[in-house]
Structure 1
């Protein structure tokens, strides 16, 4: 295992030390990626879109993305294609592709855009951009990996003073068919939406950022029982409403982040603290997830260490303790597991390499 990690680290350190590749004065290409060794001590797979069990896994977290940007005056065109975890390299996903125009304090954008949800939504798959090996699973797995919408947005930004920026982004997404997401070992779900609309507000200073999100959607849940080949697509359409609040403050060298969300199906929150010691960043976090009746279904402890090898390559060593909670019937909720586990807790060990170029 150690030998393979050394080879991976050496390979990534030979990447050009560039934040982006400038093709012309107006056009640039950039990229990012992550890969890991991960293993749990529980035979039941962990984490939707990861499925980590009690055997060595070298591709459960593998991500690779390419982004292209074009600027001309107030015009901005951008596209990002990502090989996501648990997907084959032959199944890249178009994360966003939009055309935007800026004028004065406003920016109008049309196309596929990132769905605002949390403080890290804009760089959801860019592991090098956040401290931990993975975004906190209780909170960021609440939407089962749904990360974008097809529609329009209008952003207003203004400086309140020399160090404070406020922005407000109402958005509207048109109907989308979605794709099947493996929800359990036997069941995959697809969400076919009629519309999504909402608003995202941020307040940002030199040392802090406040993020608020509200959105509402009307969708139909389509279920596919994979082993039976049975698809149930006549379920009624329902409304989905979500509220999210996040805040981070950098005390230098300590940064504290807290986020929470509530929707019609579940709720979650987490607290994380990072301590920067030059190239080393030890971090700890704790999170909880709840069902629609506010019964806690899972809690997660995380302890990790990030090391910045060079400015565009980082390494994480991380331990997670995930615990499914007992319900009133004496059995355990599924929690972070793919299926109801025979043992309700798991230790998850990860060594992760992230890079950007």
Structure 2
């Protein structure tokens, strides 16, 4: 089983998720910061430093947005879960346009057993064994979050089925945050120089460089995209046109509510697995219906993942004799590492 350890977000409690539009929230944070700086600059008799203070404000806005995206957007619903599903549709980063391309996650929508293609949200939420993952949860409903479900459309047939959204996590927002932290340090140094009155020209040059770094960071960070290959998967297939051929996947991920969807300035969204922590292609592609042994396939995947996480299994895998890369007869099956042979 291949594991994807790439994760930059965290989930939090419903109380800690910011309950207003993220753009407004970032504007409030940066606006308060800007007002404080302008007051200080004017009080110190250095009004020509106000443009540099505005550069600092722009960077603070971006950092506030990044903090929301990474830390105050996903509501924890429970422990990570292992599920099996058929791929209805994919949402690769390459299909997103600016500024949506800053979201560099690679998403899949999975039909879950034992639901038929075209299943409604109500029927899917009541199904076994995974329907509860797609049902409205008391954690979010008690806090006023709107629940939309996730009707995923087969791009060939146009048929919509209630599906579980799963995301391999990209690093674009994390990269954007890192660049802007560095830009903020430079901008604050420029502001300090300007207010000292001895390095105004240098301060403006430094502030310009900080602004350029911030803007270019937004332009280029979207290239740090996620892919199923991060979890060791080959290509993932969807409906080939005759209702067959889609990949059946086993997926393990963190169960969350994504509050990053805004309607009339209020959060709405759906439950999902984010990020994917492990994924595996299981058996034959979809042939139009669930395999007769789908329950055994689900149990086999779940048991296999649980075994892979067992401390005894990990200890065995860490032994020198288990860490061969060419062939066990060549560089494995021997837990004794010779002094002239570095560990693999």
Q: Which range, TM-score by smaller chain?
A: under 0.3
TM-score by length of 1: 0.21
Task: Compare the two structures and name the one with the higher helix fraction.
Answer: 2
Task: Compare the two structures and name the one with the higher strand fraction.
Answer: 1
TM-score by length of 2: 0.22
Larger Rg: 2
